[in-house]
Amino acid sequence: MMQRTASLLLTTIAAGRALTTSAANRTAACVLAATIAFPCMASAIDIQEIVTPKGIQAWLVEDHSIPFAALEIRFRGGASIEQSGKMGATYLMTGLLNEGAGELDAIAFQEKQEELAAIYRFRTYQQAVSISVQFLTDRRNESIELLRLALLEPRFDEEPFERVRRQVLSIIADLEKDPEEIASLELRRLQFGDHPYARQLEGTAETVAALTIADMREIHAAGLTLDGVVVAASGDITPQELAVAIDRLLGDLPTDGPKLPEKPDYLLGEGTTVVDFPSPQSVVQFAHEGLLREDPDFLTAYVLNEIFGGSGYSARLNDEVRIKRGLTYGVGTYLASYRNAGLIVGQLSSANDRVAEAVKVVKDEWRRLAENGVTKQELADAKTYLTGAYPLRFDGNGSIARILAGMQFDSIPASYVENRNDMVNALTLEEVNALARRLLKPDELHFVVVGNPDDLEEFETN
Protein backbone atom coordinates (compact mmCIF):
# COMPACT_ATOMS: atom_id res chain seq x y z
CA MET A 1 0.00 0.00 0.00
CA MET A 2 1.27 3.43 -0.90
CA GLN A 3 1.55 6.09 1.81
CA ARG A 4 2.57 9.73 1.76
CA THR A 5 5.56 10.36 4.01
CA ALA A 6 8.30 12.85 4.68
CA SER A 7 11.87 11.90 5.34
CA LEU A 8 14.63 13.90 6.97
CA LEU A 9 17.92 13.63 5.12
CA LEU A 10 21.05 15.04 6.67
CA THR A 11 20.01 18.67 6.44
CA THR A 12 17.01 18.82 4.16
CA ILE A 13 13.39 17.85 4.59
CA ALA A 14 12.13 16.46 1.31
CA ALA A 15 8.89 14.82 0.40
CA GLY A 16 9.22 11.13 -0.34
CA ARG A 17 7.17 8.02 -0.58
CA ALA A 18 7.53 4.86 1.45
CA LEU A 19 6.03 1.53 0.50
CA THR A 20 5.42 -0.92 3.32
CA THR A 21 3.87 -4.33 3.04
CA SER A 22 1.69 -5.84 5.73
CA ALA A 23 4.70 -7.90 6.77
CA ALA A 24 6.75 -4.77 7.25
CA ASN A 25 4.04 -3.18 9.35
CA ARG A 26 3.76 -6.22 11.59
CA THR A 27 7.50 -6.58 12.15
CA ALA A 28 8.42 -2.90 12.39
CA ALA A 29 7.41 -2.52 16.04
CA CYS A 30 9.65 -5.38 17.13
CA VAL A 31 12.61 -4.17 15.11
CA LEU A 32 12.23 -0.56 16.25
CA ALA A 33 11.94 -1.63 19.87
CA ALA A 34 15.23 -3.47 19.51
CA THR A 35 17.00 -0.52 17.89
CA ILE A 36 15.82 1.93 20.53
CA ALA A 37 16.87 -0.43 23.28
CA PHE A 38 20.44 -0.36 22.01
CA PRO A 39 21.16 3.22 20.89
CA CYS A 40 24.53 3.89 19.31
CA MET A 41 25.62 7.43 20.04
CA ALA A 42 27.68 9.49 17.64
CA SER A 43 30.72 9.61 19.90
CA ALA A 44 30.93 5.80 19.87
CA ILE A 45 30.42 5.28 16.15
CA ASP A 46 33.22 3.69 14.16
CA ILE A 47 32.55 4.14 10.44
CA GLN A 48 34.32 1.62 8.23
CA GLU A 49 34.69 2.54 4.57
CA ILE A 50 34.78 -0.54 2.35
CA VAL A 51 35.05 -1.31 -1.35
CA THR A 52 33.50 -4.53 -2.62
CA PRO A 53 35.25 -6.86 -5.11
CA LYS A 54 33.04 -5.33 -7.82
CA GLY A 55 34.13 -1.84 -6.87
CA ILE A 56 31.03 -0.62 -5.00
CA GLN A 57 31.83 1.68 -2.09
CA ALA A 58 29.92 1.46 1.20
CA TRP A 59 30.07 2.68 4.77
CA LEU A 60 29.44 0.35 7.72
CA VAL A 61 28.91 0.67 11.45
CA GLU A 62 29.16 -2.77 13.04
CA ASP A 63 26.94 -3.53 16.03
CA HIS A 64 26.58 -7.18 16.98
CA SER A 65 24.45 -6.59 20.07
CA ILE A 66 21.24 -7.69 18.35
CA PRO A 67 20.81 -10.08 15.40
CA PHE A 68 19.66 -7.74 12.65
CA ALA A 69 21.06 -5.12 10.31
CA ALA A 70 19.84 -2.13 8.31
CA LEU A 71 20.88 -1.24 4.78
CA GLU A 72 20.32 2.10 3.03
CA ILE A 73 20.76 2.54 -0.72
CA ARG A 74 20.47 5.78 -2.70
CA PHE A 75 20.33 5.92 -6.49
CA ARG A 76 21.03 9.37 -7.94
CA GLY A 77 18.45 10.97 -10.19
CA GLY A 78 15.03 10.35 -8.69
CA ALA A 79 12.12 12.27 -10.16
CA SER A 80 14.47 14.87 -11.66
CA ILE A 81 15.41 12.60 -14.59
CA GLU A 82 11.85 12.22 -15.87
CA GLN A 83 10.68 13.76 -19.12
CA SER A 84 8.12 16.50 -18.54
CA GLY A 85 5.34 14.41 -20.10
CA LYS A 86 6.21 11.43 -17.86
CA MET A 87 6.00 13.15 -14.48
CA GLY A 88 5.24 10.69 -11.71
CA ALA A 89 6.85 7.73 -13.51
CA THR A 90 9.55 7.20 -10.87
CA TYR A 91 7.05 7.52 -8.04
CA LEU A 92 4.73 4.96 -9.60
CA MET A 93 7.62 2.64 -10.47
CA THR A 94 8.93 2.53 -6.90
CA GLY A 95 5.39 1.79 -5.76
CA LEU A 96 5.50 -1.39 -7.83
CA LEU A 97 8.85 -2.83 -6.76
CA ASN A 98 7.28 -5.04 -4.08
CA GLU A 99 4.31 -5.97 -6.26
CA GLY A 100 5.89 -9.02 -7.83
CA ALA A 101 9.28 -10.01 -9.21
CA GLY A 102 10.71 -12.93 -11.13
CA GLU A 103 8.40 -15.94 -10.75
CA LEU A 104 6.61 -14.38 -7.77
CA ASP A 105 3.43 -12.41 -8.35
CA ALA A 106 2.42 -9.62 -5.95
CA ILE A 107 0.82 -11.91 -3.37
CA ALA A 108 3.62 -14.47 -3.47
CA PHE A 109 6.28 -11.77 -3.16
CA GLN A 110 4.66 -10.21 -0.12
CA GLU A 111 4.04 -13.61 1.50
CA LYS A 112 7.74 -14.38 1.07
CA GLN A 113 8.69 -11.04 2.57
CA GLU A 114 6.41 -11.72 5.52
CA GLU A 115 7.96 -15.14 6.00
CA LEU A 116 11.41 -13.54 6.15
CA ALA A 117 10.24 -10.73 8.49
CA ALA A 118 12.18 -8.36 6.22
CA ILE A 119 11.35 -4.69 5.77
CA TYR A 120 11.77 -3.02 2.36
CA ARG A 121 10.84 0.63 1.91
CA PHE A 122 11.10 2.29 -1.48
CA ARG A 123 11.01 6.10 -1.66
CA THR A 124 11.15 8.63 -4.46
CA TYR A 125 12.77 12.01 -3.90
CA GLN A 126 13.43 14.91 -6.21
CA GLN A 127 17.05 13.84 -6.63
CA ALA A 128 17.16 10.19 -5.60
CA VAL A 129 15.44 6.87 -5.22
CA SER A 130 16.13 5.36 -1.81
CA ILE A 131 15.71 1.83 -0.53
CA SER A 132 15.65 1.19 3.21
CA VAL A 133 16.11 -2.43 4.24
CA GLN A 134 16.04 -4.23 7.58
CA PHE A 135 16.65 -7.96 7.92
CA LEU A 136 17.36 -10.57 10.59
CA THR A 137 20.85 -12.04 10.64
CA ASP A 138 19.71 -15.63 10.12
CA ARG A 139 17.57 -14.52 7.14
CA ARG A 140 20.12 -12.17 5.60
CA ASN A 141 20.89 -14.14 2.46
CA GLU A 142 17.24 -14.88 1.68
CA SER A 143 16.27 -11.25 2.33
CA ILE A 144 19.00 -10.02 -0.01
CA GLU A 145 17.92 -12.51 -2.71
CA LEU A 146 14.30 -11.38 -2.54
CA LEU A 147 15.26 -7.71 -2.77
CA ARG A 148 17.66 -8.50 -5.62
CA LEU A 149 14.75 -10.03 -7.49
CA ALA A 150 12.72 -6.85 -6.97
CA LEU A 151 15.55 -4.65 -8.26
CA LEU A 152 16.55 -6.77 -11.27
CA GLU A 153 13.34 -8.52 -12.32
CA PRO A 154 10.28 -6.46 -11.32
CA ARG A 155 7.20 -7.83 -13.05
CA PHE A 156 5.12 -4.68 -13.50
CA ASP A 157 2.02 -6.85 -14.00
CA GLU A 158 -1.12 -5.14 -15.25
CA GLU A 159 -3.30 -5.69 -12.15
CA PRO A 160 -0.91 -4.14 -9.58
CA PHE A 161 0.06 -1.45 -12.11
CA GLU A 162 -3.55 -0.29 -12.42
CA ARG A 163 -4.21 -0.67 -8.69
CA VAL A 164 -1.17 1.36 -7.63
CA ARG A 165 -1.89 3.92 -10.35
CA ARG A 166 -5.34 4.43 -8.78
CA GLN A 167 -3.67 4.94 -5.41
CA VAL A 168 -1.37 7.56 -6.90
CA LEU A 169 -4.26 9.36 -8.58
CA SER A 170 -6.07 9.40 -5.22
CA ILE A 171 -2.99 10.90 -3.55
CA ILE A 172 -2.75 13.55 -6.27
CA ALA A 173 -6.42 14.43 -5.79
CA ASP A 174 -5.81 14.87 -2.05
CA LEU A 175 -2.73 17.00 -2.65
CA GLU A 176 -4.72 19.33 -4.88
CA LYS A 177 -6.85 20.15 -1.82
CA ASP A 178 -3.95 20.48 0.64
CA PRO A 179 -2.99 24.16 1.16
CA GLU A 180 0.53 23.28 2.33
CA GLU A 181 1.16 21.23 -0.80
CA ILE A 182 -0.34 23.96 -2.98
CA ALA A 183 1.97 26.54 -1.38
CA SER A 184 5.04 24.33 -1.70
CA LEU A 185 4.39 23.53 -5.36
CA GLU A 186 3.70 27.18 -6.22
CA LEU A 187 6.85 28.33 -4.44
CA ARG A 188 8.98 25.80 -6.35
CA ARG A 189 7.33 26.79 -9.62
CA LEU A 190 8.19 30.42 -8.99
CA GLN A 191 11.73 29.50 -7.99
CA PHE A 192 12.60 27.06 -10.75
CA GLY A 193 10.16 27.62 -13.63
CA ASP A 194 10.04 24.53 -15.85
CA HIS A 195 13.12 22.91 -14.27
CA PRO A 196 12.55 19.38 -12.84
CA TYR A 197 13.01 20.72 -9.29
CA ALA A 198 9.68 22.53 -9.69
CA ARG A 199 7.68 19.38 -10.34
CA GLN A 200 5.47 17.42 -8.01
CA LEU A 201 6.95 14.00 -7.22
CA GLU A 202 3.66 12.23 -7.78
CA GLY A 203 3.15 13.80 -11.20
CA THR A 204 -0.18 15.21 -12.31
CA ALA A 205 -3.48 13.44 -12.90
CA GLU A 206 -2.91 13.82 -16.64
CA THR A 207 0.66 12.51 -16.75
CA VAL A 208 -0.01 9.58 -14.40
CA ALA A 209 -3.13 8.57 -16.33
CA ALA A 210 -1.04 8.42 -19.50
CA LEU A 211 1.80 6.29 -18.07
CA THR A 212 2.27 2.76 -19.42
CA ILE A 213 3.99 -0.40 -18.24
CA ALA A 214 6.63 0.30 -20.88
CA ASP A 215 7.27 3.61 -19.12
CA MET A 216 7.81 1.70 -15.86
CA ARG A 217 10.45 -0.49 -17.48
CA GLU A 218 12.14 2.51 -19.05
CA ILE A 219 12.39 4.59 -15.87
CA HIS A 220 13.43 1.51 -13.88
CA ALA A 221 16.34 0.89 -16.24
CA ALA A 222 17.36 4.56 -16.19
CA GLY A 223 16.90 5.24 -12.49
CA LEU A 224 18.45 2.22 -10.76
CA THR A 225 22.09 2.16 -11.82
CA LEU A 226 25.51 1.91 -10.21
CA ASP A 227 26.55 5.36 -11.38
CA GLY A 228 26.95 7.31 -8.14
CA VAL A 229 25.06 4.77 -6.04
CA VAL A 230 25.38 5.27 -2.27
CA VAL A 231 25.32 2.36 0.20
CA ALA A 232 25.42 2.38 4.01
CA ALA A 233 24.80 -0.33 6.58
CA SER A 234 24.60 -0.68 10.34
CA GLY A 235 24.15 -3.66 12.57
CA ASP A 236 25.03 -7.32 12.83
CA ILE A 237 27.15 -7.73 9.72
CA THR A 238 30.92 -7.74 9.11
CA PRO A 239 32.70 -5.85 6.32
CA GLN A 240 33.31 -9.11 4.48
CA GLU A 241 29.68 -10.18 4.77
CA LEU A 242 28.49 -6.75 3.67
CA ALA A 243 30.74 -6.76 0.61
CA VAL A 244 29.33 -10.14 -0.49
CA ALA A 245 25.75 -8.97 0.11
CA ILE A 246 26.22 -5.70 -1.81
CA ASP A 247 27.82 -7.34 -4.80
CA ARG A 248 25.06 -9.94 -4.92
CA LEU A 249 22.34 -7.31 -4.53
CA LEU A 250 23.64 -4.58 -6.81
CA GLY A 251 26.49 -5.99 -8.85
CA ASP A 252 24.41 -6.80 -11.94
CA LEU A 253 22.69 -3.40 -12.23
CA PRO A 254 23.57 -1.17 -15.20
CA THR A 255 26.74 0.86 -14.74
CA ASP A 256 25.80 3.94 -16.78
CA GLY A 257 23.54 6.41 -14.99
CA PRO A 258 21.02 8.95 -16.23
CA LYS A 259 21.85 12.49 -17.27
CA LEU A 260 21.17 14.70 -14.28
CA PRO A 261 19.49 18.08 -14.74
CA GLU A 262 21.55 21.19 -15.29
CA LYS A 263 21.81 23.93 -12.69
CA PRO A 264 18.50 25.82 -12.59
CA ASP A 265 18.15 29.53 -13.08
CA TYR A 266 16.94 31.14 -9.86
CA LEU A 267 13.80 33.01 -10.88
CA LEU A 268 12.23 33.99 -7.58
CA GLY A 269 12.23 37.69 -6.72
CA GLU A 270 10.80 39.82 -3.95
CA GLY A 271 7.03 39.89 -3.71
CA THR A 272 3.85 38.13 -2.64
CA THR A 273 1.81 35.59 -4.54
CA VAL A 274 -1.71 34.84 -3.34
CA VAL A 275 -3.42 31.59 -4.30
CA ASP A 276 -7.13 31.73 -3.56
CA PHE A 277 -8.26 28.89 -1.31
CA PRO A 278 -11.48 28.62 0.74
CA SER A 279 -10.29 28.38 4.34
CA PRO A 280 -10.57 30.45 7.55
CA GLN A 281 -6.78 30.58 7.71
CA SER A 282 -3.95 31.02 5.25
CA VAL A 283 -0.85 28.90 4.78
CA VAL A 284 2.26 30.95 4.05
CA GLN A 285 5.54 29.71 2.61
CA PHE A 286 8.43 32.07 1.96
CA ALA A 287 11.96 31.78 0.64
CA HIS A 288 14.95 33.29 -1.04
CA GLU A 289 18.20 31.91 -2.39
CA GLY A 290 20.42 30.10 0.12
CA LEU A 291 23.67 28.14 0.15
CA LEU A 292 24.78 24.99 -1.61
CA ARG A 293 25.56 22.09 0.69
CA GLU A 294 29.25 22.23 -0.23
CA ASP A 295 29.51 25.90 0.76
CA PRO A 296 32.12 26.14 3.57
CA ASP A 297 29.67 28.27 5.57
CA PHE A 298 26.84 25.74 5.43
CA LEU A 299 27.27 24.56 9.02
CA THR A 300 27.37 28.19 10.16
CA ALA A 301 24.11 28.73 8.27
CA TYR A 302 22.64 25.69 9.98
CA VAL A 303 23.43 27.16 13.40
CA LEU A 304 22.12 30.58 12.36
CA ASN A 305 18.89 29.01 11.15
CA GLU A 306 18.47 27.15 14.43
CA ILE A 307 18.60 30.47 16.27
CA PHE A 308 16.25 32.21 13.86
CA GLY A 309 13.60 29.70 12.86
CA GLY A 310 14.76 26.28 13.95
CA SER A 311 13.18 23.56 16.04
CA GLY A 312 13.67 25.18 19.44
CA TYR A 313 10.76 26.86 21.22
CA SER A 314 12.95 29.91 21.83
CA ALA A 315 13.78 30.45 18.15
CA ARG A 316 13.34 34.11 17.26
CA LEU A 317 10.50 33.69 14.78
CA ASN A 318 8.60 31.45 17.17
CA ASP A 319 9.10 33.99 19.95
CA GLU A 320 8.04 37.02 17.90
CA VAL A 321 5.26 35.54 15.77
CA ARG A 322 3.76 32.93 18.06
CA ILE A 323 4.61 33.64 21.68
CA LYS A 324 4.51 37.44 21.80
CA ARG A 325 1.74 38.06 19.26
CA GLY A 326 -0.21 34.81 19.02
CA LEU A 327 -0.34 35.00 15.23
CA THR A 328 0.29 31.32 14.59
CA TYR A 329 0.59 27.94 16.26
CA GLY A 330 3.90 27.32 14.56
CA VAL A 331 6.49 29.01 12.37
CA GLY A 332 9.88 27.80 11.24
CA THR A 333 12.61 27.94 8.63
CA TYR A 334 15.00 25.40 7.18
CA LEU A 335 17.82 25.09 4.67
CA ALA A 336 16.76 23.29 1.49
CA SER A 337 19.74 21.90 -0.40
CA TYR A 338 19.52 20.55 -3.94
CA ARG A 339 22.43 19.16 -5.93
CA ASN A 340 23.08 22.53 -7.54
CA ALA A 341 20.70 24.93 -5.81
CA GLY A 342 20.20 26.13 -2.26
CA LEU A 343 17.29 27.89 -0.55
CA ILE A 344 16.29 29.14 2.86
CA VAL A 345 12.59 28.37 3.28
CA GLY A 346 9.99 29.09 5.93
CA GLN A 347 6.35 28.36 6.67
CA LEU A 348 3.54 29.48 8.96
CA SER A 349 -0.25 29.41 9.14
CA SER A 350 -2.38 32.26 10.41
CA ALA A 351 -5.99 33.40 10.48
CA ASN A 352 -6.98 35.31 7.34
CA ASP A 353 -7.49 38.54 9.26
CA ARG A 354 -4.05 38.30 10.89
CA VAL A 355 -1.85 36.84 8.17
CA ALA A 356 -0.79 40.28 6.90
CA GLU A 357 0.57 41.10 10.34
CA ALA A 358 2.38 37.73 10.53
CA VAL A 359 4.04 38.35 7.16
CA LYS A 360 5.15 41.81 8.28
CA VAL A 361 6.69 40.43 11.49
CA VAL A 362 8.64 37.82 9.51
CA LYS A 363 9.97 40.52 7.17
CA ASP A 364 10.90 42.77 10.09
CA GLU A 365 12.68 39.97 11.97
CA TRP A 366 14.50 38.89 8.80
CA ARG A 367 15.83 42.40 8.41
CA ARG A 368 16.68 42.78 12.11
CA LEU A 369 18.74 39.59 12.08
CA ALA A 370 20.52 40.57 8.85
CA GLU A 371 21.43 43.97 10.23
CA ASN A 372 22.09 43.22 13.91
CA GLY A 373 22.96 39.53 14.02
CA VAL A 374 22.48 37.18 16.96
CA THR A 375 23.47 37.69 20.56
CA LYS A 376 26.23 35.91 22.44
CA GLN A 377 23.63 34.14 24.59
CA GLU A 378 21.59 32.99 21.60
CA LEU A 379 24.67 31.45 20.04
CA ALA A 380 25.67 29.74 23.30
CA ASP A 381 22.17 28.30 23.73
CA ALA A 382 22.11 27.06 20.14
CA LYS A 383 25.47 25.34 20.55
CA THR A 384 24.30 23.62 23.72
CA TYR A 385 21.13 22.37 22.06
CA LEU A 386 22.68 21.28 18.77
CA THR A 387 25.64 19.47 20.29
CA GLY A 388 23.42 17.76 22.84
CA ALA A 389 20.81 16.70 20.31
CA TYR A 390 23.23 15.44 17.65
CA PRO A 391 24.14 12.11 19.29
CA LEU A 392 20.45 11.34 19.78
CA ARG A 393 20.00 11.09 16.01
CA PHE A 394 22.02 7.86 16.05
CA ASP A 395 19.32 5.93 17.88
CA GLY A 396 19.35 2.64 16.01
CA ASN A 397 20.60 0.77 13.00
CA GLY A 398 18.04 2.25 10.62
CA SER A 399 18.79 5.82 11.68
CA ILE A 400 22.54 5.30 11.47
CA ALA A 401 22.34 3.79 7.98
CA ARG A 402 20.17 6.68 6.75
CA ILE A 403 22.53 9.30 8.19
CA LEU A 404 25.59 7.65 6.66
CA ALA A 405 23.89 7.39 3.28
CA GLY A 406 22.87 11.04 3.45
CA MET A 407 26.44 12.06 4.24
CA GLN A 408 27.81 10.14 1.27
CA PHE A 409 25.11 11.55 -1.01
CA ASP A 410 26.17 15.06 0.01
CA SER A 411 29.91 14.23 -0.25
CA ILE A 412 30.47 14.73 3.48
CA PRO A 413 33.49 12.82 4.86
CA ALA A 414 33.06 10.08 7.46
CA SER A 415 35.12 12.16 9.92
CA TYR A 416 32.23 14.66 10.08
CA VAL A 417 30.42 12.53 12.67
CA GLU A 418 33.35 12.72 15.07
CA ASN A 419 34.20 16.36 14.35
CA ARG A 420 30.78 17.95 13.88
CA ASN A 421 30.18 19.07 17.47
CA ASP A 422 33.69 20.49 17.74
CA MET A 423 33.05 22.47 14.55
CA VAL A 424 29.80 23.82 16.00
CA ASN A 425 31.49 24.82 19.24
CA ALA A 426 34.32 26.50 17.34
CA LEU A 427 32.00 28.96 15.58
CA THR A 428 32.42 32.54 16.75
CA LEU A 429 29.84 35.26 17.13
CA GLU A 430 31.63 37.27 14.46
CA GLU A 431 31.46 34.40 11.96
CA VAL A 432 27.76 33.79 12.54
CA ASN A 433 26.84 37.45 12.23
CA ALA A 434 29.00 37.95 9.15
CA LEU A 435 27.09 35.11 7.51
CA ALA A 436 23.77 36.61 8.61
CA ARG A 437 24.67 39.78 6.70
CA ARG A 438 25.64 37.74 3.63
CA LEU A 439 22.87 35.12 3.65
CA LEU A 440 19.75 36.91 4.81
CA LYS A 441 18.24 39.15 2.14
CA PRO A 442 14.96 40.63 3.38
CA ASP A 443 14.47 42.56 0.16
CA GLU A 444 14.49 39.32 -1.84
CA LEU A 445 11.94 37.38 0.22
CA HIS A 446 8.97 36.01 -1.69
CA PHE A 447 5.80 34.93 0.11
CA VAL A 448 3.25 32.47 -1.26
CA VAL A 449 -0.04 32.76 0.61
CA VAL A 450 -2.71 30.10 0.10
CA GLY A 451 -6.06 31.18 1.52
CA ASN A 452 -8.22 34.31 1.62
CA PRO A 453 -5.97 36.80 3.44
CA ASP A 454 -7.29 40.19 4.47
CA ASP A 455 -5.43 43.42 3.70
CA LEU A 456 -2.40 41.72 2.18
CA GLU A 457 -0.67 43.57 -0.63
CA GLU A 458 -0.90 41.32 -3.66
CA PHE A 459 1.88 41.68 -6.21
CA GLU A 460 0.49 38.72 -8.10
CA THR A 461 -2.82 36.90 -7.73
CA ASN A 462 -3.58 33.44 -9.08
Please give the average per-residue pLDDT across 243-263, as a whole number.
95
Q: Of 126, 122, 15, whose CA–CA distance to 80 is shortest?
A: 126
* Residue ranges of domains in the chain, CATH in brackets: 2-250 (3.30.830.10), 271-395+410-461 (3.30.830.10)
Tell me, what's the pLDDT at 457?
64
Q: How far apart are CA 148 and CA 130, in angstroms?
A: 14
Tell me, what's the pLDDT at 314?
87
pLDDT-derived band at 446 (thresholds 50, 70, 90) equals: very high
Please give the average per-residue pLDDT across 250-257, as a whole number.
96
Report the relative pairing of strands 460-461 and 341-351 from DSSP bridges: unpaired
Does the structure show a pLDDT above 80 at 258? yes
Q: Of 199, 212, 190, whose CA–CA distance to 172 is shortest?
A: 199
Per residue in 89-99, pLDDT (tens digit) is: 999 999 999 99
pLDDT-derived band at 43 (thresholds 50, 70, 90) equals: low
Q: Which of 10-14, 133-137, 330-334 has the weakest average pLDDT?
A: 10-14
Please give the average per-residue pLDDT across 54-77, as a whole number.
97
Per residue in 343-402, pLDDT (tens digit) is: 999 999 999 999 999 999 999 999 999 999 999 999 999 999 999 999 999 999 999 999
pLDDT-derived band at 7 (thresholds 50, 70, 90) equals: very low
Does the structure show a pLDDT above 90 at 180? yes
Q: How far apart are CA 372 and CA 115, in angstroms?
A: 61
Q: What is the mean pLDDT of the chain?
A: 90
- Cα distance between the two ends of the chain: 35
Per residue in 271-323, pLDDT (tens digit) is: 999 999 999 999 999 999 999 999 999 999 999 999 999 987 889 999 999 99
pLDDT-derived band at 38 (thresholds 50, 70, 90) equals: very low
Please give the average per-residue pLDDT across 139-148, as a whole number.
98
Tell me, what's the pLDDT at 82?
96
Q: Report the predicted TM-score, pTM, of the whole model to 2 decimal places.
A: 0.88
24 or 332, higher pLDDT: 332
Q: How far apart are CA 333 and CA 314, in angstroms?
A: 13
Does the structure show a pLDDT above 50 at 326? yes
Long-range contacts of 27-36 (CB under 8 A, 24+ apart): 27/117, 27/118, 27/119, 28/119, 31/68, 31/119, 31/134, 31/398, 32/396, 32/398, 34/66, 34/68, 34/396, 35/66, 35/70, 35/395, 35/396, 35/397, 35/398, 35/399, 36/395, 36/396
pLDDT-derived band at 340 (thresholds 50, 70, 90) equals: confident
% residues pLDDT > 70 (the chain): 89
Does the structure show a pLDDT above 90 at 460? no
Q: Of 290, 303, 264, whose CA–CA distance to 342 is shortest?
A: 290
Tell me, what's the pLDDT at 108?
98
